[in-house]
Amino acid sequence: MQDEPSLIRQLLLLRALSSRRFGMSVSEMAREMGVAGKTIRRDLKRFQKIGVPLLETDGERGKKTWRLVEHGRLPSLTLTYDEAVVLVLGRRLLEPMVGTQFWQAAHGAIRKIRATLGEQALQYLDQFPRLFHWTSAGVADYADKAEIIDDLTIAIEDSKSVCITYQSQRATEPATRDVHPYVFTWHNGSLYLIAFAPDHDQVRHYKVNRIEAVEIGSFQFQKPRNFDVEAHLAGAFGIYEGDEDVTVMIKFLPAAARYILESRWHASQVLTRQRDGSLLARFQLSSTVEIKGWVLSFGGNAVVLEPESLRTEIAAELAQLLKTYQLQVTTNN
C-alpha cells in the first residue's frame, strides 16, 4: 500500500489536471507539486495502471501535455474545520522531513486549504498550532536526504533493488551493498529502511541518516506476501530485531513505577504492582540490546531480575562507568 503523503500528492495532482483545460507538462506538474519529474512520471504511470482517464497530447516542438478527460473530473474536496485543524497539526509532526517529498506534499495540501479560507477562518485555524508543542531533542534532520528518500520511496513502490552506500555505526568508512527495500519505519526520532539483504539472506535495518547514496537498479524483486512489519518487529524493544526468545524481568522502584505505568512500552509487557509501591515488568523479546540502555537510563530505580546474562552486562557497564568517572575526577584533581 502506498504511504499517505504520496496519496495526498496524487490527489492534488489529479485536481490540478482536472482544472487545466489545455493540460500540463511533466515539468509544470513537478514544479506545482514541488517534486522531481521522475516522481510525476511514476504518478502518471500509476494513474494509467488503475484506469484514470488521462489524455496525452503532443503539442508544438514535441511538447507533451496531460489532462483528465471530462468524465474523469473529481468532485470538489470538502473539509470540515476539525479536519483542516488535524491536517495543520499533523504537518508539524513532519517538520524533521523538511525538504523531502513527504513534507512538500503535506505543505502543498495545507497551502491549498489555506487558499480557500477567509481571513477570519485563517485566524481561527492559526490558533491551534500554538496549543501544542513538540520537543525536538534527538530528532534527526532529513533536509539533506530528500533525494535519497525520494529514490528509496520509488524503489519500495516499484519493488526495485537498490545499491546503497552505507556507513554503519561501527564502520570507519562507507561500503556499498545491494538490498531489496520493503518499508520505512519511524523510531525514536529517526527514519529507518527495512530491507532484505541478499548477501546475508535476511531482513536488515538501515538508518537513513547513514545512507550516503542510492542507485535504483533494474532488477524487480518479489516482496514476500506474508511480510508484516509489525510482526517482524514484534520481538524488538524498538528497532533492533534479534533471533533470541528471552524473558526479561525488571523491578522498578516506587520512584519509577508510576512513570512506567503511564506508557505502553512493548506489546508483550505484563506490569504487576507490588505492595511496597514497586513494579515488576515482564517482556518477551528477541534481543536485549536496546532494553539494556533503557534500564540504565533509570539508574538505581531499575533492577534486572532476569535473565542473568543481562544483569551481568549491566553490572559490567556500571563498573566501567564508575571507573571512567573516578579516573576523570583523579585527572581533574
Are residues 252 and 316 located together in one domain of the fold? yes
How large is the C-alpha radius of gyration of the chain? 25
Residue 206 phi/psi, 5-degree rounding, is: -130, 120
* Calpha distance 89→164 (Å, rounded): 34
pLDDT at 15 over 80: no
* Per-residue burial over 95-134, b = 16 or more CB atoms within 10 Å of its CB, e = otherwise: ebbeebbbbbbbebbbeebeeeeeeeeeeebeebeeeeee
pLDDT, residue 2, reads: 44
Residues 66, 55 contacting (CB under 8 angstroms): yes
Is the pLDDT at 5 greater than 50? The verdict is: yes
Contact between residue 248 and residue 304 where contact means Cβ atoms under 8 Å apart: yes
- Whether 126 and 154 map to the same domain: the answer is no
pLDDT of 275: 96
Backbone angle region of 189, left / alpha / beta, with phi > 0 → left and psi within -120 to 50 → alpha: left
pLDDT digits (tens, 9 = 90+) for 287-301: 999 999 999 999 999
C-alpha cell at 324: 571512567
pLDDT above 70 covers a percentage of the chain that reads 92
Cell of 177: 551493498
Q: Out of 179, 205, 232, pick the residue that ends a domain.
A: 232
pLDDT of 157 higher than 90: no
Please indicate, yes or no, whether residues 151 and 221 belong to a single structural domain of this protein.
yes
Domain assignment present for residue 279? The answer is: yes
- The answer on pLDDT for 119 being more than 50 is yes
pLDDT band (50, 70, 90) for residue 1: very low
Least confident of 32-41, 83-92, 192-201, 206-215: 83-92
Same domain, 41 and 97: no
pLDDT top residue among 62 and 248:
248
- Based on the fold, state whether residues 299 and 320 are members of the same structural domain: yes
Number of domains in the chain: 4
Lowest model confidence (mean pLDDT) among 59-68, 226-235, 253-262:
59-68
Q: What is the mean pLDDT of residues 241-247?
A: 92
- Region 49-59: mean pLDDT is 78
Range of the domain at 15: 4-72
Backbone angles phi, psi at 209, to 5 degrees: -55, -25
Whether 170 and 220 map to the same domain: the answer is: yes
Residue ranges in the chain assigned as alpha helix (H): 4-19, 26-33, 37-49, 81-93, 101-115, 119-127, 146-158, 229-232, 254-261, 289-296, 308-332
Q: Residue 214, SS3?
A: strand
b/e sequence 300-325, b meaning 16+ C-beta within 10 Å: ebbebeeeeebeebbeeeeeeeeeee
